[in-house]
Amino acid sequence: MNTGMKNSAPPIIEAKRPVFASLSPEASDFCKQIMTVSTSFLGGTLLFIDKVVTAPMPWTKWLLLFGYIMFIGAILLVCVVRFSNVLTLEALNSNRPRDFEFAKKRNKEVIQAMRISACFLIFGVMAIVTFVHLNTFLQ
Q: Is the pLDDT of residue 12 over 60?
A: no
Q: Is the pLDDT of residue 18 over 70?
A: no
Residue 29 included in any domain: yes
Residue 11 included in any domain: no
pLDDT tens digit sequence for 43-90:
888 888 888 888 889 999 999 999 999 999 999 998 888 888 777 777
The pTM is what?
0.74
Residue 85 included in any domain: yes
Residue 111 included in any domain: yes
Q: By residue range, what is the domain housing residue 116?
A: 25-52+61-136
Residue 7 included in any domain: no
Residue 19 included in any domain: no
pLDDT tens digit sequence for 104-118:
788 788 888 889 999
At residue 26 the predicted structure's pLDDT band, cuts being 50, 70 and 90, is: low
Residue 20 included in any domain: no
Mean pLDDT of 10-29: 62
4: left (phi over 0), alpha (psi -120 to 50) or beta: left
More reliable by pLDDT, 81 or 92: 81
Mean pLDDT of 120-124: 95
> What is the pLDDT at residue 19?
60
Q: For the chain, what is the domain count?
A: 1
Residue 6 included in any domain: no
Give the single-character DSSP code of 94.
S
96-102 long-range contacts (CB < 8 A, ≥24 apart) are 96/9, 97/9, 97/10, 97/13, 100/9, 100/13, 100/16
> What is the pLDDT at residue 1?
47
Q: Is the pLDDT of residue 15 over 60?
A: no
